[in-house]
Chain A
């Protein structure tokens, strides 16, 4: 409390850029409102799995963008460019490794997050829609895995994708058309690799970003669920105690500050 005038002056100067942005956009307030939300008092590390999956996806995005600068989606050059990334380009081995292993981490975290949601009953009313969006996210993540697996263009990638495409082809009625769309013809041909590349780095990531936006919107709107063993009864009015003052964008609290 005993702040010197000098210190106050310094703080104001340091916070001035933030205040400037806040006054013109309100973004600081929105960010605080988004980050410092009320959550049940008995949540644990289990509720961080979604954020962990999000982090894994962001890591995939960053490493993928850099890999795209060195990868060549051409049937005659793809394999050599991957070898080049792994063995020649400085730190290429690291970024490619992060992308390769991060892909598995992302999918595993999705499943853990899904299991937590299921076991805690957090998919129930009113959060059914968020479960559905989560399933779409899982499917999109799997599609990322499927399209990304072809890109190294080695024997494993090629034959695994042949099998994957033909699995799609066995679906009744639409299967053959799905397979033909994926490989751009009756067999994997010169257009297949660029198509998978475009799906992998443009279309599906865009879809995932959009779905994550909806997912987070619903999380913020509906709040976090207590675990099933919580002593706090579900459905009762939320208490104001325990909320840290000034952290919530609430007219009453803001008025006091």
Chain B
């Protein structure tokens, strides 16, 4: 007796799932490598998936037989169903309905309050950090600037930027390289590779400025390496270092929002920067992989 209970209905052996799996693998490879491979993979997956599902439906009539078994115990209620809803049914439906309304009334505001504020940009009021007179930034040399992005939030908003005065562009406009210190692999604090001139350290309005001879930037966490323009040289990062928007007001250097950079061509004042909305570290902003992150991070596009 008990032995019979142990026999299960096992699907018949089939090769379709393997074809389906190969199709999915082709899609994943295609996402990274090329669109044609992706299309071929999608076709394979579609065809084999269809065959697999058809196979399952035809060899398992059990699924179609079950409703019949289910209906047998209640032929007596068939007459009731045709009649208008009776009192007991109405009351139980009303109880469920009212209960559902009360439940939704309680949970929806709570859910909204718990989730939505993160995406409204409330915690990331665009700051305008004043780094003091641009004369504090010697031409052609990086300065490590440590400042509060939003003084109201206190120490938690402390940021570090690597700032280089590039002099004037060909058009006669002041040029600064304003690199954000967070690694674009996973967000660790990138360090400039070169000696810091602690003697020339300055403190302006709570902003700490330390000149450094930075030939490159390195990340201590997982070994990401960037050149002096912030382009990736080695390691796991997927794009160039993020930068701050900047402006010059009354001779002071003002840092604004951060933005992401795919690549920098050229050096210093003549550099051409491929600028994108601020993306999270590890997120591709160009190439095929950008389709994996189709929606810009809320709050990054600004007003």
Contacts and interface: CB of A to CB of B under 8 A. Distances in A.
Contact of A176 (B155, B156, B258, B297): B297
Contact of B293 (A166, A172, A186): A172
Contact of B292 (A162, A172, A234, A235): A172
Interface string B112-123: 000101110111
Interface in A178-196: 179-192
A175 interface: yes
A253 B225 CA distance: 74
Contacts, number: 101
A76 B155 contact: yes
Contacts of B34: none
B280 A170 contact: yes
B8 A125 contact: yes
Contacts of B99: none
B221 interface: yes
Contacts of B160: none
Most A CB within 10 A of own CB, among B156, B221, B278, B299:
B156
A184 B292 contact: no
A170 B283 contact: yes
Contacts of A162: 182, 186-188
- How many interface residues does chain B have, given as a range? 35 or more
B156 A184 contact: no
B22 interface: no
Nearest to B297: A176
Nearest to A179: B280
Nearest to A169: B280
Given A166-B187, A169-B282, A184 B117 contact: yes
B281 A185 contact: no
B148 interface: no
A186 B300 contact: yes
B157 interface: yes
A190 B280 contact: no
Contacts of A169: 280-283
A78 to B, nearest CB: 10
A191 B297 CA distance: 18
Interface string B205-222: 000000000000000010
A179 B157 CA distance: 17
Contacts of B157: 187, 189-190
B280 A235 contact: no
Interface string A130-165: 000000000000000000000000000001001101
A95 to B, nearest CB: 27
Interface in A211-257: 234-237
B299 A75 contact: no
B186 A184 contact: no
Nearest to B257: A186
A75 B152 CA distance: 12
A45 interface: no
Interface in B145-193: 153-157, 182, 186-189
Contacts of B5: 235
A177 interface: yes
Contacts of B282: 166-167, 169-170
B299 A186 contact: yes
Contacts of B299: 180, 185-186
A235 B188 contact: no
Given A125-B8, A190-B154, A237-B2, A184 B123 contact: yes
Nearest to B116: A181
B261 interface: no
24 contacts: A159-B188, A162-B186, A167-B282, A169-B281, A170-B280, A172-B293, A173-B292, A173-B293, A173-B295, A175-B280, A176-B283, A179-B280, A180-B297, A181-B119, A185-B123, A185-B124, A185-B299, A186-B299, A189-B153, A190-B153, A190-B156, A192-B156, A234-B6, A236-B2
Interface of B: 2-3, 5-6, 8, 115, 117-119, 121-124, 153-157, 182, 186-189, 221, 258, 278-283, 292-295, 297-300
